[in-house]
Amino acid sequence: MRRVPAAARRCARTTPRSGPLPLRRTPAGRALTLLPVLLIGAWAAIDWRAMCAGAARLASADPWWLLAGVFFTCLGWVAAACVRQGAVPERLPPGLLLASQFAAGAANHVLPASIGAHAVTLRFLQGRGIPLARATASLALYSLVKPLAKTPVLIVFVVAFPDTLRLGQLAPGKGTLLLAVGGVTLGLATASLLVTVVRPLRRPLLGFVRTALTDIRLLHTRPSRVLALWGGSAAAPVLQGSVIASVGFSLGLPLSWAEVVFALLLATTAVGAVPAPGGIGPVDAALVFTMVAFGAPMGLATTTVIGYRVLTVWAPLLPGALVLSFLVRREVL
């Protein structure tokens, strides 16, 4: 049997392994596992009235429709896991992937602009041996495909329900359109100016773009990845709208399923880019306004949105934080 020299053994022991470093069993590491729960507790103390009001209203709702809302909420996590899998060529373990997306939901409702969910997913991908550049490229692809997939869904709803969806009341004016076009143009011009002027940004940005384009070409040669990426992204807003519709039906909301889902699509398209934790706040206001424009009473529309947030945010928040802490403790993240 061939003996390995002592110098080689010492080198092997000191060579850093790829992927994220595991959390050591130190007081700081144990505190990190409790951080999600502490953040949830702080947020609950700040928004305690809204949570209690929504829970009280849901207590008088039809339990079967609420059960349907829970079912669609669970399907939403499955859709998110499908999109994450569709954004990377490597096969990810389904159970851990679904658990990471459930945990990412808790982090997403604490930090704005999906930063929490992306951070959890990035750590998970690195733990599966995916390099940082490619993991980051998958997050960028995920963020790009999700809004793009709403466009065909909107078109399908407009074509399938031309008489039900009263678009004239919700059509934006010229000023709103000009403001939207101006904002997109300003953002693109600012990004181009930064890349042109700040030279240190060029090389990493160009490397990131090359990595992203390579993975995109590879993914779109695999039908299973295309179906997971685009199909999951298109199904996500429909499932989310189905949750709202189920809560609304449990409370007696006088709108159809198509109107509620279309109201959500319009609300998230209009203000979905506002950096609020989990989209809470701007999207809620836009959703209430859109449902009222479709003919729902203001009080009932507001109650529906509050109940929807209780069902999708507050109910899974603590379990999601516990799953997040468990995954960190088991060094999955």
Number of H helices, E strands in the chain: 15, 0
State residue 295's pLDDT score.
Answer: 85
Summarize the chain as % helix, strand, coil (round to 5).
75, 0, 20
The encoded tokens of residue 8 equal 């080689």
State residue 8's pLDDT score.
Answer: 46
Instruction: For residue 26, give Cα distances in angstroms to 23, 33, 166.
Output: 8, 11, 59
What whole-number distance in Å separates Cα of residue 69 and Cα of residue 307? 10
The tens place of each residue's pLDDT in the chain, 333 residues long, gives 455 455 444 444 444 444 444 444 445 445 544 554 455 455 555 556 655 665 666 777 888 999 999 999 999 999 999 999 998 988 999 999 999 888 888 777 666 556 778 888 888 998 888 888 888 888 888 888 888 888 888 888 888 777 665 555 544 545 544 555 565 566 566 666 665 666 666 666 666 677 777 878 888 888 999 999 999 999 999 999 999 999 999 988 898 898 899 888 888 876 555 554 555 567 788 888 888 888 888 888 888 888 888 888 888 888 888 888 888 888 777
Q: What is the DSSP letter of 21?
A: P
Entry pTM: 0.73
Instruction: For residue 188, give Cα distances in angstroms to 96, 150, 325.
Output: 37, 21, 38
State residue 161's pLDDT score.
Answer: 76
State residue 18's pLDDT score.
Answer: 43
